[in-house]
Structure 1
Amino acid sequence: MLRLLRPWLRPLARAVTYTRWLHLLMGMVVAVVCAFVFTGLHSPSPAEWALTVFVVPVPLLVAAAMVPAVRRAEGLQARLMLFPGAHARVSTRDAHARVRDAHGHEDPGVSTAPAASWRDRGRTAVWLVLRLEAGSAMWFLTTQLLGYSLALVDSSAEEPDQSGLLLPTTDWAWANALLVPVPALALLGVVVVAGKGMALAARRFLGPSPAERLAALETRTEQLLQRNRIARDLHDSIGHALTVAVVQAGAARAAGDPDFSDRALEAIEETGRAALEDLDRVLRVLREEDREASAAPTLADAERLLDSARASGAEVDVEVSGPVERVPGPVSREGYRMLQESLTNVLRHSGPVPVQVRITVDGARLDLSVRNALPPGRTATGRAGSGLRGVRERATLLGGRATTGPHGDDWRVHVELPLG
């Protein structure tokens, strides 16, 4: 029996039920003030109550809705009382950027930004009038049902006071005693249903406007792009460091020369230190610290990559043409990562083979070409891994293009990027 009643009793144990009840009753405050100010009566008639509920306050509420800050205040109040919990205190920007917060609560979908358009003001006006009418109805039901429950209690001892109540008590004391909890339970049921209805209405009338949704979508897109960019940076940086370390360690073990082993360990140390710097920079971005993260490497720092490849035994032939230092920051940083991934790809799949690197800045275009000989007995399949796919993705995002694959007896990565 308890299992069957549990779904019906669960809302009664939740704080949100009673905060929604209070939120509904607060909507009646304007009508109460108008009743005492407009009529000047201590006991207004039903017609006067109707006038103060449905006529007098409406223009005042519509005028208040024209103030942009009112929408913000209503949104904050709705978040705290209709959707209580940790998520109710999430900022507007973050709340619309994700469906659930860190505690697993659902995003309430209520904006806390001031009204930015007449459409927002109109929706706020409808919301305020809805709060007034719903609050008046809840106030009436609360006083009627709670008053009736108290009248049933009094009827068992003396003649109950039923003034203002629409429902009469019975003439049997035992029947009145049995009926005492019924009005209270009925009121709680109405509160649960009305509270859910107000929550839905808050999402409808206080939800983000199209402009806010577009801004949230742009923020979310930017976050996804940044995470994708960070993932590619980590893949290129850490992958390059590990590839150099593996190649150097294998070469040192095969050589058996203490001097060569010292040089190999030095190269591994330098490459690892550079990778740690990149990792620290990325972690600072992820942690969103107040201090600025160290700048990402650019093509001006390409010599570090070339030295690392040479230290791994590759014969690197480099030719740089044009003012590389004048390449715009985003293009230069992405060009560095593409060069890093290309050299990593050479060391990982071909080993220490001759490599030709050509960097050309010509007018409004940057050309980057990395070409390496295939080791004896190995033929190019034309298939590329995730690293070279990342090179093509980077080039596409910058409005350029990248081609990877066999070129005669060699393997070539060729990138063309616009500087504009």
Structure 2
Amino acid sequence: MTLMKRLHRLLEPMSRAVTYTRWLHLFMGAVAAVVTGGVFPGLEGTGAGRWLLLPFLPLPLLALAALVPGTRVAETMQARLLLYPGPQAPQEHPAPEIAGSPSASWADRWRVFVWLTLRLWLGFAVTAATFNGAVLTLGLVMPSLWPPFGPAPMPLSGRWQWWYPLLAPAAAAALAAVVRGSGALMAGLAPRLLGPSPAERLAELEERTERLLERTRLARELHDTIGHALTIAVVQAGAARAAGTPQFTDRALAAIEDTGREALSELDRVLGLLRENSGAAAQRPTLAHAGRLVESARGAGAQVTTRIEGDLGAVPGPVSREGYRMLQECLTNVLRHAGSVPATVRIEVLDGRLEMEVRNNQPAQPAGHRGGGSGLRGLRERAVLLGGAAAYGPRDGMWRVHVTLPLQ
């Protein structure tokens, strides 16, 4: 049973399609040598020197081809198609990350030239081994096949022996091992010679980071907008039910309607950002609209006192827009965690910086909660991205959020 398993393991690669696609890939690499040799000096003659010269004749042409940026794209497509044909690829060489872009530097062109040269030489060697190995295998079984190919090799010279066919499997196995090993070697070299350079990997990483940052920013926008609207609606609905008077209920419904309309407008703006609408960013509210947030919180029952010093219109756009979101997060937390309690909002435009502080006389986080929720963590991240800082936590018996942002 063990012998059968070993035999099956030895013959299994020859049953995979990937073995033969890689074989074809190597054959195609030898075409340049045969075509160039057919032009000069010609394929007539049987001298060993003439055949040994063939793998070196196409090198100038390969060097010129490597200078063309699109050559790497063509070689990459061929390598993906023949060296890693989908699920047929073996586990030791799964489909790797191969650059699909043209050569952008001299280092990329040099790697392409090395790849073309190795493919030429290895393909020529495998082609020669395939031709001679096939003829040797058939000649060991049927010596009469040798005359069309010239004199028989040394082991077959003289009278044909009965034990020659027993050597045929060994010759076939050696040929299979050469073909499989050469294909695996090319598959292992492809990521190194056709793969992205360090500069391309860095550019891809930066692009991926930008996408992640954009997704995080949009998630914060949705959290701030929808979270604030839902908090106002829940607080207003609860207060209206507790009051039980038609007048208060009408005011609560009006506040919920206004908040919902504003939330829909903000949702359309965020969707515009997802659609890469360039005008959507300019529609974001700024600190100049802070009064709208304060009135919304007051309508939900919070007793908000404001103190604004300086010209909010002079605050740069990015700082003003992010400051609005931070204030929105703070007031939302007051309503969500503290309820209808007195709160103080202080916004000051000082020399080169913006300071914003929100205080309320009850903790805005549940008792025993440490580190703040995701909204407060996002608030701190916003401040850090703008070069500022944010601190929050209990202080002097009150919950305090303090933000400092540079204006430059």
Q: Deviations over 1:2-43 (max 9, x none)?
A: 876666565445443333222211111211122111212334
Is the contact made by 2:141 and 2:164 (CA closer than 8 Å) also made in structure 1?
Answer: no
* Structure number, greater radius of gyration: 2
1:231 to 192, 211, 219: 219
| CA distance, structure 2, for counterparts of residue 339 and residue 167 of structure 1 | 92
Q: Which amino acid aligns with 1:307?
A: E
Q: 2:28 aligns with which of 20, 26, 32?
A: 26
* Counterpart Cα distance in 2 of 1:30 and 1:37: 11
Task: Give the match's secondary structure for 1:219.
Answer: helix
- 8 A contact 1:331–1:419 mirrored in 2: yes
Equivalent residues in 2 for 1:293-304 (5 A)?
A: 294-295=280-281, 297-299=284-286, 300-304=288-292
Structure 2 letter corresponding to 1:47: G
In the TM superposition, what is the alpha-carbon distance from 1:418 to its structure 2 partner?
1.1
The answer to whether structure 1 residue 46 and structure 2 residue 33 are counterparts is: no
Matched residue, 1:72? 73
SS in 1 for 2:217: helix
The size of the alignment, in residue pairs, is 395
1:57 is matched with 58
Of 241, 247, 258, the match for 2:229: 241
Give the superposition deviation at 1:380: 9.8
Tell me whether 271-280 or 106-115 shows the greater mean CA deviation: 271-280
Contact 1:144 1:166 in 2 (8 A): no
The answer as to whether partners of 2:391 and 2:401 remain within 8 angstroms in 1 is yes
TM-score in terms of structure 2 length: 0.82
Corresponding letter in the other structure for 2:98 = V
Deviates more, 1:67-76 or 1:339-348: 67-76
For 1:33, the aligned partner's letter is V
Match of 1:394 in 2: 382
Structure 1 residue 144 corresponds to structure 2 residue 132: yes
Two-structure CA RMSD over aligned residues (Å): 3.5
Pairing 1:73-88 to 2, within 5 Å after superposition: 73-85=74-86
Give the deviation of 1:212 after TM superposition: 1.0
State the TM-score, normalizing by the size of structure 1: 0.80
State the secondary structure of the residue aligned to 2:149: coil
Q: Secondary structure at the match of 2:40?
A: helix
Cα distance in 2 for partners of 1:266, 1:8 equals 79
Decide whether aligned partners of structure 1 residues 116 and 383 sit closer, same or farther in structure 2, where only a CA change above 3 A counts: closer
Tell whether 2:116 aligns with 1:128.
yes
| CA deviation map 1:286-341 (0-9, x unaligned) | xx646558336232443443333122111223344444344333322321221121
Kept in 1: contact 2:138–2:168 (CA 8 A)? yes
In structure 1, the gaps of 5 or more residues are 87-104
- For residues 60-92 of structure 1, the C-alpha deviation after alignment (integer angstroms, 9 at most, x for no partner) is 323432333333332333233323449xxxxxx
What are the residue-to-residue correspondences of 1:134-213 with 2, within 5 Å?
134-151=122-139, 159-161=145-147, 163=149, 171=160, 176=165, 186-213=174-201
Give the CA deviation at 1:274.
3.9
Mark the CA change 1:318 to 1:8 in structure 2 (over 3 Å): closer, same or farther.
farther
Letter of the aligned partner of 2:245 in structure 1? D
Give aligned-pair identity as a percent.
55
Bigger shift: residues 65-74 or 243-252: 65-74
CA distance in 1, matches of 2:179, 2:15: 13
Choose 143-152 or 339-348, whichever is displaced more.
143-152
